[in-house]
Amino acid sequence: MEYAIMPAIIENRHGLRQGRIMSIENGWWHRARWVESPNQDSRPQNEISLLLLHSISLPPHEYGGPYIERLFTNRLTADEHPFFATIAGLRVSAHLLIRRSGECIQFVPFHRRAWHAGRSCWHDGDETRYALNDFSIGIELEGDEITPYKEAQYRVLAEATKSLCRQYPALSPERITSHARVAPRRKTDPGPAFDWAYYRQCLQSL
C-alpha cells in the first residue's frame, strides 16, 4: 500500500518541531516517505540489535529511476531492462532506502522483519549468529560501491541511525556493519566508496 506522499515533510511545513520529524512511531520513521512492501514478516524474538548497511542501483550504475522502489514492492517487470530479467522474481526488501538526493523511503516498519541479508553471519561477541534478518535493520544507499556516496546520503543516514539508536536501545554505533562483512563471499556492498570515518563523524556531530 502506498501512503500519502511525504507526510512528515508536509506536517513540518505546518510547524511540527524537528523532534517529531525525527521520531519513530509504530515502527515508521517520520522523516521518510512510506511505501509499504509485502516482503516482510514478523521478527521471531522481537529483537532489534544490528544495523546492516547495503547499496543498490537499478539498473546497475544508474541512479534516480523508479526501479528500486518497484523491486521492493514486487512491481519490477523483467522486460524493461536486460538486467531486470535476472532479478524480477526476487522477493526482497529493506527497511530504508536513502537515495542520492537524500530522499528516504521506508518499506517495512522496523519492528517487522525485512528481507535483505540473505545467507550471512555475524560474530556477536563469542556467538556466531545466522538469520540476520531476524534481528537487524537494513538500510540501502542508492549507489554502486565505487562511486562516492553523496553528502546528503551521509547526513540522512546519520539521522536515521541516531533515531534508531534512540528508539531501540539494543542498537548502538558499535553494532553497525556492512552486507560485505556479514556475507563476504557473496556481497561487497556498500563497498569501498562508503566512507565509514565520515559516517561516524556525521553521527557524532548530531
* Residues of this chain that bind Zn ion (CB under 5 A): 54, 179, 189
Task: Kindly give the residue spans of alpha helices, DSSP state H, lying in the chain.
Answer: 7-13, 18-21, 67-72, 84-87, 151-167, 179-182, 196-205
Closest CB to Zn ion among 159 and 189? 189
Q: Do 9 and 104 form a contact (C-beta atoms < 8 A)? A: no
Phi, psi of 140 (to 5 degrees): -100, 135
Closest CB to Zn ion among 22 and 141? 141
Instruction: In angstroms, give the least distance from the CB of 22 to Zn ion.
Output: 25
Closest CB to Zn ion among 69 and 189? 189
Residue 12 has a CB neighbour count (10 Å cut-off) of 16
Q: Which three cell numbers, joined as nine digits, stand for 145?
A: 560501491
Closest CB to Zn ion among 31 and 190? 190
Inter-CA distances, 135 with 33, 91, 96, 170, 196, Å: 23, 19, 15, 10, 22
Instruction: In angstroms, give the least distance from the CB of 187 to Zn ion.
Output: 5
Inter-CA distances, 42 with 135, 164, 168, Å: 10, 18, 16
Q: Which three cell numbers, joined as nine digits, stand for 23?
A: 521520531
Query: How far is 79 from 67, CA to CA, in rounded Å?
Result: 12
| Residues classed as catalytic | 140
Q: Do 37 and 72 form a contact (C-beta atoms < 8 A)? A: yes
Closest CB to Zn ion among 70 and 181? 181
